[in-house]
Amino acid sequence: MSQSFYLAATSRTPEVAFDIDAKTAIIEGECYPEDADKFFAALNKAVEDYFSTGCNELQLTVNLIYFNSSSARALMELMDSLEGLASTKSISLNWLYDEGDDITEEFIEDVTSSYKNMKISSSSNPG
Amino acid sequence: MELAKFAQLREILPEDRFMLCYSGYVSESVLEAVGGTLKERLNLHITEKKKIKVVFSIFVELMQNLIRYGASGPKGEHIPNEERAGFGMLMIIEDDDGSISLLSGNYVSSEEKLAMESRLERLLGRSHEELRDLMKEQMRKPPEIMSKGASLGLIEIARRSTRPIEAAFVPTANAQHFFSIKAYV
């Protein structure tokens, strides 16, 4: 396993792991960083670095059990940029939410409903 | 403050129920410390995972509102801005019916009051669907000028609250207002 980018989870930020060999990435945990813009800037950079290697394929799993409103906007922007990249690359997004968390379920719908390039799947973690 | 007055607080803040109360200057490090305590206590007290998450998420948005908007203390003193710490009060208390009320309050200038009122006007009394549409619309807009944060926090509080949120402004000295907001889970 070779991870091209790795951030361990903290009490306020999720674990983030990009694996260039497996062509996968995962963002998992809770997300309410002190500075959401700064945290997501690092993620945007990781995406940029990942594709700068010439790799044209990514399977991203997002499993954020909680994120605050500042992260919501930054997360949407990250997804928007992946959707843009997916016009020339094969990108799939598997976005998970906790069962019964209707606000997050609606958020996923509202962010991804206009996307045409990425392959999107979404399902709930059992409660 | 006299000890007798301090002891009176005990009567207002009942000790026989789930409660968390904070008053003082708030910063991201206070959010983290108080949030950690809150999470531990919620996990011991509430079995429903979803309810714990809703309480915690409203707590985070209320605290970040206090940090961003509470720029001055009760006497209008200027607080050094490096840490963006403002004065704020927060209370989380279980009511007789088992619901949890979350209240926060801070001092705002007349200018901040106007900005806050216009934000509140858009979301008070709105349905779940209307709030969802408002969130969607605001997310794609740049943050408002007067709102130092992502301007989505209040909408998030209103969406998560299981009853309509309430807000009030009480005039105080030095042309300030005490702004308070209440949500339920």
Domain edges within chain B = 19-184
Write the pLDDT tens digit of every residue in B115-170: 889 889 989 999 999 999 999 998 888 766 545 554 789 999 999 999 999 999 99
Closest-CA residue of chain B to A127 = B49
- CB crowding A9-35: b at 16 or more within 10 Å, else e: eeebbbebbbbbeebbbbbbbbbbbbe
Taking the C-alpha atoms of residue A98 and residue A73, their distance in angstroms, rounded to an integer, is: 20
Quote the longest CA-to-CA distance of chain B. 53
Q: Are A16 and A45 in contact (CB under 8 A)?
A: no
B52 pLDDT above the threshold of 50: yes
Given this model, what pLDDT does residue B149 score? 52
Tokens standing for residue A116: 């045409």
Write the pLDDT tens digit of every residue in A107-125: 999 999 999 999 999 999 8
Yes or no, beta carbons of A106 and B149 under 8 Å apart: no
Lowest-confidence pick of B50-59, B66-75, B108-117, B166-175: B66-75
Q: What is the pTM of this model?
A: 0.90
Taking the C-alpha atoms of residue A111 and residue B136, their distance in angstroms, rounded to an integer, is: 8
Residues of A in contact with B57 (CB under 8 A): 66, 68
Tokens standing for residue B170: 């009480």
* Closest by Cβ to B61, choosing from A36, A68, A76: A68
B16 pLDDT above the threshold of 90: no
Tokens standing for residue B23: 């008053």
Interchain contact B160–A (C-beta under 8 A)? yes
Name the B residues in 30-69 with CB < 8 Å from any A CB.
32, 36, 49-50, 53, 56-57, 60-61, 64
Residue from B131, B133, B140 to probe the interface with A (highest A Cβ count within 10 Å): B140
Given this model, what pLDDT does residue B67 score? 84
Domain edges within chain A = 3-125
Q: Kindly list the averaged pLDDT for each block of 10 residues, start to end, along chain A of length 127.
A: 84 96 96 94 96 95 95 95 97 96 94 96 85
Yes or no, beta carbons of B64 and A98 under 8 Å apart: no
Tokens standing for residue B37: 């305590």
Taking the C-alpha atoms of residue B59 and residue B52, their distance in angstroms, rounded to an integer, is: 11
Tokens standing for residue B143: 């943050």
The correct answer on CATH 3.40.50.2300 for the domain covering B19-184 is no
A3-125 CATH fold:
Transcription Regulator spoIIAA (3.30.750)
Q: Are A67 and A30 in contact (CB under 8 A)?
A: yes
Distance (Å) from the alpha carbon of B5 to chain A's nearest alpha carbon: 36
